Chain A
Amino acid sequence: MTISIGRRRFNRALGASGLAVAAGTLGAPLPLRAEAARVVIVGGGPGGATMARFLKQDAPELGVTLVEANPVHTTCFYSNLYLGGLVDFEDITHGYDQLAELGVEVVQGRAVGVDAESRILELEDGTTLDYDKLVLAPGIAMRWDAIDGYDEAAAEIMPHAFQAGPQTRLLKEQFMGMREGGTFLMVAPPNPYRCPPGPYERVSLVAHQFTQHNPTAKILILDAKPSFSKQALFEEAWRTHYPGMIEWVPGDFGGKVVAVDTDAMTVTNEDGEVFEADVINCIPPQQAGLVAAAAGATDESGWCPVEPDSMASTILPDVVVLGDASLAGDMPKSGFSANSQAKVAAMVLRHELTGSRLFPVRYRNTCWSSTAPEDTVKIGANYEPRDGRITSFDGFVSEVGESDELRREQRLEADAWYASIIAETFGTS
C-alpha cells in the first residue's frame, strides 16, 4: 500500500493538468491515510454512475473517479418514449454535476486500455489513472463486422439507435419525415443484446406515431430470433392498437439479415431475399464496450465473465464489471439490472476496502414496456448466486387481457421508476 500511494500521488498530480476535472471535487489535499483507496470507474451509465454514487455516499473516505466519454448521458431507457412523442429529449438526458458535488471526481475522457498488473487505466489522450479497484461499466459496442455492409458510416444512414443520443434523434427525424404509406423496417438482433423487449417497445411507439401522422405506413421487423420477450403481450397490443400495421418475420422464416445496402436502402436475408424500405432501423449483434476487450476482461463471447457474488471479473484481478458489458447469468441487459448490480458490487467493494459489513447478495430486475401511451406491461425477477452463477428465482410477467386501468397504472409506475433511478444515478439521492 505505502509504495502505491507515492505512485498514486505522482500520477494524479500529473493527470490533473491534462484532464477536465469537475470543479469542487478535489479541494482537499491528498489524504495521507493509507486506507484512502482509489476506485476508478469507467462509464457513467446506470452501472457506473450508480456505483460512483453509492461508494462515495457510503464511504466518503474513498477516492472515487468516474471516467465518462461524454459530458452528458442520454438514457436508452425511455428513449423509445421519446421516439413515440411521450417525453422530450431533455427529459432523458442527464449530466454529472450532482455526482461531482457529492465528491466524485468526474473525468471526461475515453478509457482505452488497462494494465491490470500495475493497476493503471489509460485514457485516449495518453493520461493514466492509478487505481486500487477498477470498475468497468462501458455498456455495449456494435459488432460492425456481423452484417455485411453495416459499419459506423452505414449507421448514419440506417441508425441503430441502441446507444441513445444523436442516433436516437436521427431515427426519429427519419421516420417522422417518412413519405406517406412508406415502410419502416427494423432489423432485430440475435441474443444476447441490450434490453430484450427494447426493439418491440420501439416498434409499438413508432406505430403510435404513425397512427397519428402516417396511418397508411407499414412496419416490418426482420428478426434474427425465433421468438422474443413478452411476445404475447406485444402481439396483443399490436392487434389492439395498430391492426394490420406491424409484420414480424422470425429467424427461421426469413428474418435473419446478412447484408445491407445503404445506397439502395435494402437489406438481404440469408435466403437472398431483398427487402426495400424508406427507413431502416438496423440493430446489429452486440458485444461489451470496447475498453472491456482492450483490458482483456472479455471471453470468446465478447462479454465479460464475472463472479456471481460480487460482479468481480473472473479474468482480471481488482476489476469489477457491471451492466450490459457483463455476463450476468440469467439477468437481462437492462438499466434496472445495471443499477441493481452496482449496488451489490458497491457493498462488496466497500467491504474489501474499508472493512464494512458484508450482506447477502441478491439482485433484482423489472422492465416496463409501453406498447401505447397508456398501455404498459412489465416483467421482473429476483436473482441470486447459485452454483456459481447468477440464477433467477421467482418472477412475474403481465398477462394478456389485463384491464385498461392496470395498464394505465403501470405507465405511471414506469414513469415513477424512471424518476427514481435517475435521481439515484445522476441526481441528489
Chain B
Amino acid sequence: MDEQRSHIISALVMHRPGVLQRVAGLFTRRGFNIDSITVGPSEQDGLARMTIISRGDDKVLEQITKQLNKIIEVIKVRDLNADGTVTRELCLIKTHTPSERARSEIMQYANIFRGRIVDVGPENLTLEITGTPEKIDALIDILRGFGIKEIARTGPTAISRGSKTM
C-alpha cells in the first residue's frame, strides 16, 4: 500500500490554452511528484491527450486521478497498467565526433539501437532514437564516452495494448 511506484497517467483533455498550466499547477500545488508530461492532439477534434509519469503510493495515485478529474477541462483520466501499455519516447542526441573512427562507431551504435542520423556536421552528429525510456538511457550512456553536446527528450507517451481504449 505504501509502496512508491512509477505510474503512467493518460488524460484526455480539452485542447485549449491554459489546460497544461492547470494540470501542472495541480501537481505542484498538491505536492504530487511529476517526472514528465507530454501533450499532443488526440484522435478526437478539439481534444488532446496528456501522458504524465508520476511516482507515489496508491493513496497518492488515487488523489492524483481524482484531483485531475476535478479539472473541468479534463475529460477522462486513466492510470495505465505498465504491463498492458506500450510506452515510447523520442530523443535527439547531438554528439561530438572527435575522429573518423568515433564517427563510424557512433553510426554503428545508432544502427544497433535502431536510431537514425538526422543531421551531420564536420564535428558533430545528431541522432534520433525512439523507444522505451530505458533503451534511450542505455544509448545515452554509451554515447557519453564520445562527448554529448546536447540531448532533447520528449518524455514518454503511452497507449494501452490491444483493442481497448480509455
A and B interact? no
Q: Which A residues are closer than 8 A to B by beta carbons?
A: none
